[in-house]
């Protein structure tokens, strides 16, 4: 179990991507702090973890990440019940689509508040409780970004602004905390079958093929939380690129797919652009290979 005894808090873990990450981290032995605004959904995530027969601690706290007092109180409880925190996943997010000139003013602010201010409040509230005393086992702060950075689809101006903003925040924070044993990394998914994308149709079995399942992202987060990623900092993991890597691994001849060292030349030849995008994350490719076998 890769995350045995690590303490991981995931915002937005009542459904969608955050719920999938929480279950995956618990299966890897981590103790989990679950937080969102909806108690019933958090309780359901906790019950699913328990139903897998996993013997870890799961602490549930409701908090709105845009309310500093609430999220501070939640992190205090996570620290008291779990101990120093090894990983924080700032995953909670929100989006709405409108033509920009018609965008509802309140909704525009709400999207920025949840996706930017909420991430800042999450970090500020978590910081005193993060385990920052071990260079060989650094604390991890992981953002859920989006392929909206850098594609910038239309009618998503508020969301795009927020997802560009967190890339800047990560860069700045990675530099600022370089000597404090905290790393900052981001997973930037393409479209995923969750309520944010498909509303109440999420999980109905009718998603288009190009839309990922929430659990398709688990390995990226587990990697970033694992010992393998202790020195990975300010990385942007675009799930599109690694999906392509997975397809190429599936088709690669034996002798070319056992590890990054033997795979990289094959990848460079078959998909030079993908190679350029992932070449600094060979450790993640190795991790993916280890999870495939």
Ligand X SMILES: NC(=O)c1ccc[n+]([C@@H]2O[C@H](COP(=O)([O-])OP(=O)(O)OC[C@H]3O[C@@H](n4cnc5c(N)ncnc54)[C@H](OP(=O)(O)O)[C@@H]3O)[C@@H](O)[C@H]2O)c1
Binding site for ligand X (CB under 6 A): 11-12, 14-18, 36-38, 41, 64-66, 91-94, 114, 118, 144, 146, 189, 191-192, 194-197
CA distances from 132 to 10, 88, 194 (A): 18, 13, 33
CB 193 within 8 A of CB 214: yes
Q: How many CB atoms lie within 10 A of CB 76?
A: 14
Q: Kindly state the helix (H) or strand (E) to which residue 170 belongs, with its residue range.
A: helix 157-176
- Judged by DSSP in three states, 236 sits in strand
CB of 198 to ligand X, least distance (A): 8
Q: Which is nearer to ligand X, 45 or 56 (CB)?
A: 45
Q: Which is nearer to ligand X, 14 or 33 (CB)?
A: 14
CB of 194 to ligand X, least distance (A): 3
Report DSSP state, residue 212: B
CB of 16 to ligand X, least distance (A): 2
Quickly count helices (H) and strands (E) in the chain.
Answer: 13, 7
Q: Kindly state the helix (H) or strand (E) to which residue 87 belongs, with its residue range.
A: strand 87-90
Burial class from Cβ neighbours inside 10 Å (0-12, 13-18, 19+) for residue 135 reads exposed
Q: Which is nearer to ligand X, 65 or 229 (CB)?
A: 65
CB 224 within 8 A of CB 185: yes
CB of 118 to ligand X, least distance (A): 6
CB 256 within 8 A of CB 118: no
CB of 76 to ligand X, least distance (A): 16
CB of 211 to ligand X, least distance (A): 7
CB of 78 to ligand X, least distance (A): 14
Q: Which is nearer to ligand X, 87 or 189 (CB)?
A: 189
For residue 273, what are the contacts with CB-CB under 8 A and spacing of at least 6? Answer: none
Q: Which is nearer to ligand X, 92 or 267 (CB)?
A: 92
CB of 12 to ligand X, least distance (A): 3
Q: Kindly state the helix (H) or strand (E) to which residue 140 belongs, with its residue range.
A: strand 139-144
- Judged by DSSP in three states, 33 sits in strand
Q: Which is nearer to ligand X, 53 or 205 (CB)?
A: 205
Q: Which is nearer to ligand X, 131 or 140 (CB)?
A: 140
Q: Which is nearer to ligand X, 62 or 252 (CB)?
A: 62
Tokens of 189: 């998914």
Degrees to nearest 5, angle at CA 267 with 261 and 273: 125
């Amino acid at each position: 179990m890769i995350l045995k005894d690590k303490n991981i808090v995931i915002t937005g873990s009542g459904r969608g991507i955050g719920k999938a990450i929480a279950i995956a981290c618990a299966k890897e032995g981590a103790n989990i702090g679950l937080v969102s605004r909806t108690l019933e959904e958090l309780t359901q995530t906790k019950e699913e973890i328990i139903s897998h027969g996993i013997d870890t601690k799961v602490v549930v706290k409701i908090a709105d990440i845009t309310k500093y007092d609430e999220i501070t109180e939640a992190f205090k409880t996570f620290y008291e019940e779990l101990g120093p925190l090894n990983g924080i996943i700032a995953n909670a997010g929100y989006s709405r689509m409108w033509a920009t000139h018609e965008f509802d003013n309140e909704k525009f602010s709400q999207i920025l508040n949840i996706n930017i201010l909420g991430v800042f409040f999450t970090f500020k509230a978590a910081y005193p409780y993060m385990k920052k005393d071990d260079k060989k086992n650094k604390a991890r702060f992981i953002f859920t970004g989006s392929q909206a950075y850098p594609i910038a689809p239309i009618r998503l101006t508020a969301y795009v602004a927020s997802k560009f903003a967190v890339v800047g925040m990560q860069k700045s924070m990675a530099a600022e905390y370089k000597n404090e044993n905290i790393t900052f990394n981001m997973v930037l998914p393409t479209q995923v079958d969750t309520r944010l994308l498909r509303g109440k149709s999420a999980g109905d079995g009718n998603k288009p093929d190009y839309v990922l399942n929430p659990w398709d992202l688990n390995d990226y987060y587990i990697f970033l939380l694992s010992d393998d990623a202790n020195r990975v900092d300010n990385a942007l993991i675009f799930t599109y690129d690694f999906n392509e890597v997975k397809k190429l691994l599936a088709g690669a001849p034996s002798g070319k797919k056992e590890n990054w060292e033997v795979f990289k030349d094959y990848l460079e030849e078959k998909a030079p652009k993908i190679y350029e995008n992932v070449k600094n994350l060979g450790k993640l490719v190795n991790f993916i290979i280890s999870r495939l076998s």
